[in-house]
Amino acid sequence: MSLGQQTLFYPALRNPWQRTLAVTLSIRLPHDSQVSVNTVALPNGKLGYSAYGSTWSYREGAPGAPRPAGYGIGIGKFSITGRVVDGSGKGVEGICLKIGDRIVYTGSDGSFALSVRKRKRYPVVGLPEQCLSGHWHVVNASGDAVPGEPITVTVEKEGQ
């Protein structure tokens, strides 16, 4: 949920400067989906509301295979895939990793994918300050990322 104040200028109104309180409520749903409702300042100076939803779309992979966040985004003929898990083996959403010189975020099941142009080793680095789901740090990564060889990264919540 976010709150913000807006001062808008509507030249056709008797009092052209309108101050509004903007409220946005977003709810994350399964399968990388989100529903949001927010207030809107209308040109007549009144307050309205809007609602919208969003989700990711993935290209088809192997039948029955999970579709990781970011799958198919980018141009390259090789894919680096993997999963980020906590100490109990549960996938962690919103973790930010730097693979080579590219940034990826994990999806709702902790998986990620990245298209690359060359079949080579790419260093994997956790970026805890950019994680979307709290502050995490990498405990263990299964080495460099290599296209065609899924990797597993284990993370731990900071302060544990």
pLDDT tens per residue across span 33-64: 788 888 877 766 677 888 888 876 544 444 44
Structural domain count of the chain: 2
Does residue 137 sit in the same domain as residue 84? Answer: yes
What CATH number corresponds to the domain at position 95? 2.60.40.1120
Does residue 93 sit in the same domain as residue 44? Answer: no
| 8 A C-beta contact, residue 4 and residue 38 | no
Does residue 51 sit in the same domain as residue 109? Answer: no
At 139 the pLDDT is: 84
User: Is the residue at 121 inside a domain?
Assistant: yes
Does residue 43 sit in the same domain as residue 6? Answer: yes
Please tell me the distance from the alpha carbon of residue 66 to that of residue 14, in angstroms, as a whole number: 57
User: Is the residue at 61 inside a domain?
Assistant: no
Range of the domain at 28: 2-55
Place 32 in a pLDDT band, splitting at 50, 70 and 90.
Answer: low
User: Is the residue at 109 inside a domain?
Assistant: yes
Instruction: Classify burial at 17, counting beta carbons within 10 Å of its beta carbon; exposed 0-12, middle 13-18, buried 19 or more.
Output: exposed
User: Is the residue at 70 inside a domain?
Assistant: no
User: Is the residue at 69 inside a domain?
Assistant: no
